Amino acid sequence: LSNKIESDLQEELIQVKTSLSSIQSELQSLLQRQENLQERKSQLESEINRRVSSSSSQLDGEQDWSSEDKYDPIEKYGNFQYFPWSKTLRSTLNSTFHMNDFRPKQLEVINASMSGRDVILIMSTGGGKSLTYQLPAILAKGITVVVSPLVSLMEDQLLGLRNLGIEARSLNASSTKEEVKHVHQSMTSQSPSFRLLYVTPEKISKSKRFMAQLEKCYKAGNLSRIAIDEVHCASQWGNDFRPDYKILGILKRQFPNTPIIGLTATSTDKVTLDTKKILNTPFALVFKTALNRSNLFYQVREKALSHDDVIADMVELINTNFSRDAGIVYCFSRKNCSEVSSSLNKRGIKSAVYHAQLEPIEKSRVHQMWTDNSIQVICATIAFGMGIDKPNVRFVIHHSLSKSVENYYQESGRAGRDGLPALCLIYFGFADVFKQSTMVMTERTGLDNLNQMVQYCLDLKSCRRNLISTYFGENWDSITCNEMCDTCAGMYEHSNIDVTSACQSLLSTIRLAEQKGEGNRLTGAKVVEAAAGRGKNKTLELKKFSASEVQRMIMHMMFKEFLREDFHFTPYSTISYLVPGPMASAL
């Protein structure tokens, strides 16, 4: 038995040894292959470098494309002579886009993106963001996919591109089966029939079929670039958060070698950082043009109490300064839009309303009438926004304040896109502050944002440009306002009055009302009424101040946290009561 076991073991040992030696020889051959491949790789790399640098010097003189380390990245991308595509780029700018030169930052952004870098571009409205992906799209072999939030926006872009003779398509809910088929086929074809493909973010987040097609397009080497318009919509810290944008991080994960370019007109540093995180583009280069719009005159006017008085003021302003010019009046609600529009029409200023509830066909009709100047004014809610490309808007009036400085910058920025002077005016009313606060209180940073907007309106001393720049974390001290805002133009006179005891009196009125119990608490309007001595709660201290002065005091007290709002919910509405704030005892 022992002999038998020994011979079996011997046999097994021989087998193991044989298979071990075959594994060893296989390993050897794999190592050899790896070595060969590595050698081939370095051969190819040096060949690529050789070709790139030779094409660079061929096209652009003596510049050495391979020695990029010498250059500061941002400066490097602005160097016209540096890149192999530089000459073609400029000639295409002239011949296809009929433009003479690049605007600030356009060239840097295009070069960075064409070098394969992810880029985020923050450029003021009308600054020329579209060119930064449209021009590279023409020079690229494959397709540039453009994620755009609105179908109407896409249509405008397609029309513009078609006029320039550039082939572009869009895929959205109203695309026909044939169109979809054609686009899908082209995405994987050797020579696609179009350069740009516009899709909504929903297409990326919801259509598995489209994503599968995009995957094929990428594998076929046809996905040359992805542009994401209004990219700030990805961040919850921004003013326009859209859940579908949050999914767009999938693009970098699935298509790591395709450069992404995100575009926005407004983004605070916090929003930009968050956007990079969401898009999975931590190394994206951020390019920012100064947000200053030097041709816009910023002004705030105290809003009269009656609707008719506000309209009378507005009509006089329009008739005196803008009798033949187009403008926008932003209103708080749909009802507001209708009231303002009908009042303007009655006084001879042709206007129409625009809000989210209008049928799409009516929206286009109104937009068109305004674009071709058959109406002078659009009375709109903030639904009238993205994609307005009318260059000669001479005034944007806010019938009530915006919900944040960011919103205001964007809404007012629709004025003067042609670079000529335009007016941005807010009618600042006390009651509007509370209307807004009851609307935004459910948003994460709603009340803080509104607070900053109120501060902007309350401030009668600081330059409005500086107030906006501080909000965006920019420093425009070096930029002269050139008296292009009401405060710098010296439109207000100041005198210093100590209002401490008046404010203390307001606070005691509010405390007293609160002590009387739930049903006696005071809204902002009731506090002003009490101060004026018209209501039940008379206070002599405050009688010497006008209602408007008391309103300003109350708003300052809210800002300094001597007062705060306490929201009460009824089945029909939200009521804001004023109550002592955390700093009340300090007063």
Ligand X SMILES: Nc1ncnc2c1ncn2[C@@H]1O[C@H](COP(=O)(O)OP(=O)(O)OP(=O)(O)O)[C@@H](O)[C@H]1O
What does the DSSP assignment read for 260-285? EEEEES---HHHHHHHHHHTT-TT-E
Q: How many whole angstroms separate alpha carbon 230 and alpha carbon 209? A: 24
Strand bridging mode 351-354 / 422-428: unpaired
Among 109, 131, 278, 499, binds ligand X (CB under 6 A): 131
Minimum Å gap between C-beta 233 and ligand X is: 13
Minimum Å gap between C-beta 125 and ligand X is: 4
Distances from the Cα of 324 to the Cα of 299, 353, 393, angstroms: 21, 19, 11
- Site map 77..106 versus ligand X, x via CB under 6 A: ----------------------x--xx--x
Among 114, 120, 123, 314, binds ligand X (CB under 6 A): 123
Minimum Å gap between C-beta 368 and ligand X is: 18
Cβ proximity to ligand X: between 303 and 414 the closer is: 414
Q: How many whole angstroms separate alpha carbon 9 and alpha carbon 1? A: 12
Angle at 305 between CA 302 and CA 310, to 5 degrees: 65
- Answer yes or no: are the C-beta atoms of 174 and 198 closer than 8 Å: no
The strands making up 351-354's β-sheet, listed across from edge to edge, are 296-302, 422-428, 393-398, 326-330, 377-380, 351-354
Minimum Å gap between C-beta 497 and ligand X is: 43
- Answer yes or no: are the C-beta atoms of 167 and 193 closer than 8 Å: yes
Please name which of 279, 290, 199 lies closest in space to residue 235, comparing C-alpha atoms: 279
Minimum Å gap between C-beta 144 and ligand X is: 15
Cβ proximity to ligand X: between 202 and 230 the closer is: 230
Return the structure tokens found at 480. Answer: 């002269």
Q: Is residue 127 near ligand X by the rule CB under 6 A?
A: yes
> With contacts defined by CB under 6 A, how many residues of the chain interact with ligand X?
14
Among 55, 57, 79, 130, binds ligand X (CB under 6 A): 130
Eight-class DSSP state of 567: E
CB atoms within 10 A of CB 442: 10
Among 105, 117, 129, 526, binds ligand X (CB under 6 A): 129
Classify each residue of 516-533 as buried b or exposed e, where b means 16 or more C-beta atoms within 10 Å of its C-beta: eeeeebbbbbbbbbbbbe
Please identify, among the stretches 123-131, 305-313, 515-523, 530-538, the one whose residues bind ligand X according to the rule CB under 6 A.
Answer: 123-131
Helix ranges (DSSP H) in 267-376: 269-278, 307-321, 334-346, 360-371
Cβ proximity to ligand X: between 128 and 446 the closer is: 128
- Site map 438..477 versus ligand X, x via CB under 6 A: ----------------------------------------
SS3 of residue 391 by DSSP:
coil
Please identify, among the stretches 4-12, 112-120, 128-136, 171-179, the one whose residues bind ligand X according to the rule CB under 6 A.
Answer: 128-136
Please name which of 150, 231, 220 lies closest in space to residue 192, comparing C-alpha atoms: 220
Please identify, among the stretches 124-132, 313-321, 437-445, 488-496, the one whose residues bind ligand X according to the rule CB under 6 A.
Answer: 124-132
Q: Is residue 416 near ligand X by the rule CB under 6 A?
A: no
Please identify, among the stretches 126-134, 182-190, 253-261, 438-446, the one whose residues bind ligand X according to the rule CB under 6 A.
Answer: 126-134
Q: Is residue 238 near ligand X by the rule CB under 6 A?
A: no
Residues between 242 and 281 that touch ligand X (CB under 6 A): 265
- Site map 370..409 versus ligand X, x via CB under 6 A: -------------------x--------------------
Minimum Å gap between C-beta 179 and ligand X is: 25
Minimum Å gap between C-beta 80 and ligand X is: 13
Please report, as ranges, the residues that interact with ligand X according to CB under 6 A. 99, 102-103, 106, 123, 125-131, 265, 389
